Amino acid sequence: MSMNRYLTFALAKGRLANQTLELFEEMGIACEEMRDKNTRKLIFVNEEWKLKFFLAKGPDVPTYVEYGAADIGVAGRDTVLEENRNVYEVLDLGFGKCRMCVCGPEAAGDLLLHHERIRVASKYPNIARDYFYNKKHQTVDIIKLNGSVELGPLVGLSDVIVDIVETGSTLRENGLDVLEEVCGLSARMIVNPVAMQMERERIQELVLGLREKLSRQAARAEARRGV
Ligand code: PRP
């Protein structure tokens, strides 16, 4: 195994990066300085394991990985699908669970049944297009928004939205419903194809370690729930 080269990770900043780092810490791979809330440093190194971590905006993570600026990335499945980069998806980390859904006022449910040409607002135009054109075979107009997508049907910009639903409270508080589920989402680990060839052993060892850790955690959680 070549330990001369650093393996570089791009992590989607926020909750996903924090949970990923916690997982690494539980495996004995700590990066103390990265957890300092006041730090403005962008790159953190673990010399023992020869690992480098940096925090990036979620949608940029697959870009860093495709170009090889990071060997490995952690981002939500929403981002991985939307960016559709040339990367391998190697692991479902299980956290950050939520759903990608078509949402709108209850009455808009009918518009989804009759192949009508409707307006769909989304922060995820590629996912929305794939769902309507390839899965539902419905021609729609996609309108890209950058956030607060629930406004779409509320102010008459769109008939429905395609957006992430986690607790459902944003929908509830704005009088909107889940009309159809597009897919389930959670944090995914992605790998650069060249790094996968060059550093196969180290990457496989890491993925295996993480997978074991995650399945032990899942078994403990099930036992606690008395399943
Ligand atoms: C996300 C998503 C929904 C909301 C869903 O928005 O786009 O609006 O969270 O969560 P909930 O089901 O628990 O209410 P985010 O907070 O990322 O902000 P944004 O609207 O600016 O995208």
Average the pLDDT over 65-79 and give the result: 98
The whole-number average pLDDT for the span 99-126 is 96
User: Does residue 31 carry a pLDDT above 80?
Assistant: no
Percent of the chain surpassing pLDDT 70: 97
Could you tell me the two tokens for 159? 């008939």
Q: How far is the C-alpha of 166 from the C-alpha of 44, rounded, in Å? A: 31
Detail the DSSP E strand segments found in the chain.
Answer: 7-12, 43-46, 51-56, 72-76, 88-92, 98-104, 119-122, 141-144, 160-165, 177-185, 187-191
DSSP-derived pairing of the beta strands 119-122 and 141-144: parallel
pLDDT at position 1 over 60 = no
Closest Cα to atom 20 of ligand 1:
148
Which residues lie below 8 Å from residue 58, measured CB to CB, with a gap of 6+?
12, 13, 14, 16, 75, 76, 79
Measured distance CA(46)–CA(186) in Å, rounded: 26
pTM of the model: 0.92
**How does pLDDT run across 168-218, given as a tens digit for each residue?**
999 999 999 999 999 999 999 999 999 999 999 999 999 999 999 999 888
Q: Is the pLDDT higher at 71 or at 3?
A: 71
Per-residue confidence (pLDDT) for residue 226, from 0 to 100? 81
Q: What percent of the chain has pLDDT over 90?
A: 79
| Burial (Cβ within 10 Å: 0-12, 13-18, ≥19) of residue 59 | middle
In the reported structure, the alpha carbon of residue 96 is separated from the centroid of ligand 1 by a whole-number distance in angstroms of: 13
Separation of CA 183 and ligand 1 centre (Å): 16
The residue-averaged pLDDT of 80-95 equals: 97
Across the chain, which distance is largest between two alpha carbons, in Å?
60
- For residue 38, pLDDT beyond 90: no
Whether 94 lines ligand 1, by a CB cut-off of 6 Å, is no
